[in-house]
Amino acid sequence: MAFPFERGDTALLCTNDVIEARDEDRHGLPARGAGDRYGWQGPDSLLSQLRKDRIRHVGGHLRDDAATVAIELVSPCPDGV
């Protein structure tokens, strides 16, 4: 798959344990649109808010490890790649 990635865009990459975190009713964490829900304040804030959401969503006890990375393109590569 290929996606356009332009100046100002942010890619959120995470392991399945982030979006598969279940609440007491067994609903998964809605990660899609997270930047819009929190109000965009940059990748660090996005990761912090997503972690807080995950902890709240599962009732305060994380049972699985997870990895999340937010990558923001602040300027294009000099060679256009």
Each residue's pLDDT, cut to its tens digit, for the chain (81 residues) gives 888 888 888 888 888 888 788 888 988 887 666 667 777 788 898 899 888 888 888 888 887 788 999 999 888 767 655
pLDDT of residue 34: 65
Domains identified in the chain, total number: 1
Would you say residue 45 lies in a domain? yes
pLDDT of residue 69: 93
Would you say residue 57 lies in a domain? yes
Rounded distance between C-alpha atoms, residue 55 and residue 61, angstroms:
6
Would you say residue 54 lies in a domain? yes
Would you say residue 30 lies in a domain? yes
pLDDT of residue 23: 86
pTM of the model: 0.73
Would you say residue 5 lies in a domain? no
Rounded distance between C-alpha atoms, residue 56 and residue 48, angstroms:
12
pLDDT of residue 81: 56
Residue pair 44/69 in contact by the 8 Å Cβ criterion: no
Q: For residue 54, give every residue at least 6 positions away whose Cβ sits within 8 Å of its Cβ, in sequence order, or none.
A: 18, 21, 29, 62, 66
Would you say residue 14 lies in a domain? yes
DSSP string, 7-71: TT-EEEEE-HHHHT-B-TT-PBP--TTHHHHH----HHHHHHHHHHHHHHHTTS---S---EEEE
Q: Which domain holds residue 35?
A: 10-72
